[in-house]
Structure 1
Amino acid sequence: MDWVQTVVLALIQGLTEFLPVSSSAHLILPSQLLGWEDQGLAFDVGVHMGTLAAVMTYFRQDIANMLVAFFASFKGSKSVDGRIAWFVVFATIPALVFGFMLNDIVDQYGRSILVIAATTLIFGALLWWADISRKEVKPLEEITLRDAITIGLAQAVALIPGTSRSGITITAALMLGFTRQAAARFSFLMSIPVILAAGSYKSLELFQTATATQWEMVIGGVIVSALSALACIHYFLKLLDRTGMLPFVIYRLCLGIFLLGVYFYVPVNA
């Protein structure tokens, strides 16, 4: 890797992890379209840890309140923060289970340009439909266990590259009647255990392999992904009610059409 590749890939991870446009798709595309070599496991772990640090920094007060309430619930204390904390746990289980079961299958069959193009278009259209038909009557504090499990099952679908973890979970939450802010907030809170689990799994793989690592590039990737993700979360939530999901839907449709053109007309190994 060189510094240009490091910065570009870290920016892609940081900017797309929390936007409804699929970070996995964007990280696959440079190697498919530009011929870049795989960035390596250590770099992959690093940029994921950078985005994890960003979301935990942004929601640090929410996380602190939820953790206190979560442990207090074992003593019989009931609160909104405690209920949301438990629901984040329950919503994470489907992604962990399906991720463990289907990881190898997705790696083998799901990383082609055609698959990414299809999921980008299909789930982009679904996001648009969910946004324009939303009822927006429920704040996050009114979430139920059924809501959490439904959103969690949607999150498991994001194992397919191009789906977008944040996109599909926000879509599900909007379809369940949550406000845009509530949908985005729960999606971001759900990302914490998922990113932590994925990073831990990849870290275990890293420790089991004896490959040379450009640690200066990894550290640079962590910093760039963390700062870009922090800015992304802040401005996304700030502008969400004003812009809605339409800009991201348009982007996904354009990207999907572009990828179909690449797949059918450009001699790329897809």
Structure 2
Amino acid sequence: MTWVEAIVLGIVQGLTEFLPISSSGHLRITSAIFFERDAGASFTAVTQLGTEAAVLLYFAKDIWRITRTWVVGIWDRSVRSSLDYRMGWYVIVGSIPIGVFGLLFKDQIRETARNLWLVASTLILFAFVLAFAEYWGRQTRTLENFRMRDGVVMGFAQAMALIPGVSRSGGTLTAGLLLNLTRATAARYSFLLAIPAVVMSGIVSLGDVFAPAAPGTSVPSGAQMIVATALAFAVGYAAIAWLLRYVAHHTLYIFVLYRVALGTLVLALLLTGTISAT
């Protein structure tokens, strides 16, 4: 991997991780168009540690409060009715689907699912699903109305993002809107829900990212991996603040249009033989 490649992909990861446009899909597409190779699923997973570090910092007070209340609530029944205690369980239970599917389909996720025909198609298909959710969702429920059912449904929606192009934040936001949650509520839970799954995925992938690459993939050095992850952290932190402000006052249709445009562009490049699907 070249230094330009590492820097560009680190910035792309930070910019796209929290937007409903698929960071893994963008890394795959960026690699194919500008560097004519695939940085790999492990590179994506490890750079996501940077963006999740941004989540931990941005929501540090909320995370500490929820964690402390959850631990206390295991022994003290008087706090079990609180939102923080319940949110701890919502995040734990909601994280199970992506963990299970990630382990079951690990090989397919790292190989078959990275085919650009699939990435482009899912970008377009789930753009229309997101548009329907934005149009149909009544957005009458806030975080105080959040229930375990919501956590489970959004957890399964997050698991769909194991396929590049679906988008983890896009899947959870879509599910949240279909459950009539406000955009801000769905986004906040989406950030919290990502922490266990992404951190574990990144840690598990640390060894693989430096492993001998298959043909058509690039391998970063330790220094390049650190820089890419640090850039993802810095850019991702800014993206969190922007997205939370944006979804509180705007619809998600701009992301729908962007996904369709990008997916169409990738399909055109594939059809003309400009880029390779694998």
Identify whether the pair has TM-score above 0.5, normalized to the shorter chain.
yes
Q: TM-score range by the shorter chain?
A: over 0.9
Which of 159, 163, 168 lines up with 1:165 in the alignment? Answer: 168
Measured in 2, the distance between the counterparts of 1:203 and 1:6 equals 16
Match of 2:249, SS?
helix
Contact 2:46/2:205 (<8 A) preserved: no
Contact 2:209/2:220 (<8 A) preserved: no
Contact 2:27/2:44 (<8 A) preserved: no
Deviation (angstroms), 1:40: 6.8
1:116 aligned partner: 119
1:20 aligned partner: 20
Which of 129, 132, 137 lines up with 1:134 in the alignment? Answer: 137
Q: Is residue 249 of structure 1 aligned with residue 256 of structure 2? A: yes
Contact 1:96/1:194 (<8 A) preserved: yes
Contact 1:91/1:151 (<8 A) preserved: yes
1:80 aligned partner: 83
Q: Is residue 145 of structure 1 aligned with residue 148 of structure 2? A: yes
Residues 62/136 of structure 1: CA separation in 2 closer, same or farther (3 Å cut): same
1:93 aligned partner: 96
Q: Give the root-mean-square deviation of aligned CA atoms.
A: 2.0
1:202 aligned partner: 205
The correspondence of residues 100-111 of structure 1 with structure 2, limited to 5 A, is 100-111=103-114
The correspondence of residues 29-108 of structure 1 with structure 2, limited to 5 A, is 29-39=29-39, 44=44, 46-75=46-75, 76=77, 77-78=79-80, 79-108=82-111
2:216 aligned partner: none
Contact 2:40/2:110 (<8 A) preserved: no
Contact 2:47/2:202 (<8 A) preserved: no
Which of 256, 260, 268 lines up with 2:267 in the alignment? Answer: 260
Q: How many residues align?
A: 269
- Amino acid of the residue matched to residue 241 of structure 1? A
Q: Is residue 231 of structure 1 aligned with residue 231 of structure 2? A: no
Residues 264/36 of structure 1: CA separation in 2 closer, same or farther (3 Å cut): closer
Contact 1:43/1:221 (<8 A) preserved: no
Deviation (angstroms), 1:266: 2.6
Match of 2:162, SS?
coil
Deviation (angstroms), 1:168: 0.5
Measured in 2, the distance between the counterparts of 1:210 and 1:265 equals 31
Deviation (angstroms), 1:240: 1.4
Measured in 1, the distance between the counterparts of 2:35 and 2:2 equals 14
Residues 40/119 of structure 1: CA separation in 2 closer, same or farther (3 Å cut): closer
Deviation (angstroms), 1:11: 0.8
Deviation (angstroms), 1:239: 1.6
Match of 1:158, SS?
helix
Spell out, residue by residue over 1:32-53, the C-alpha distance to the aligned partner (whole angstroms, 9 max, x if none). 2233444478854552221111
Q: What TM-score, normalized to structure 2?
A: 0.90
Measured in 2, the distance between the counterparts of 1:129 and 1:199 equals 32
Residues 156/234 of structure 1: CA separation in 2 closer, same or farther (3 Å cut): same
Measured in 1, the distance between the counterparts of 2:158 and 2:271 equals 30
User: Which consecutive residues of structure 1, in runs of 5 or more, have no partner in the other structure?
Assistant: none
Residues 45/155 of structure 1: CA separation in 2 closer, same or farther (3 Å cut): closer
Residues 170/45 of structure 1: CA separation in 2 closer, same or farther (3 Å cut): closer
Measured in 1, the distance between the counterparts of 2:32 and 2:104 equals 26
2:276 aligned partner: 269
Spell out, residue by residue over 1:141-196, the C-alpha distance to the aligned partner (whole angstroms, 9 max, x if none). 21111111111111111111100000001100110010010000001111101111
Residues 39/114 of structure 1: CA separation in 2 closer, same or farther (3 Å cut): closer
Match of 2:18, SS?
coil
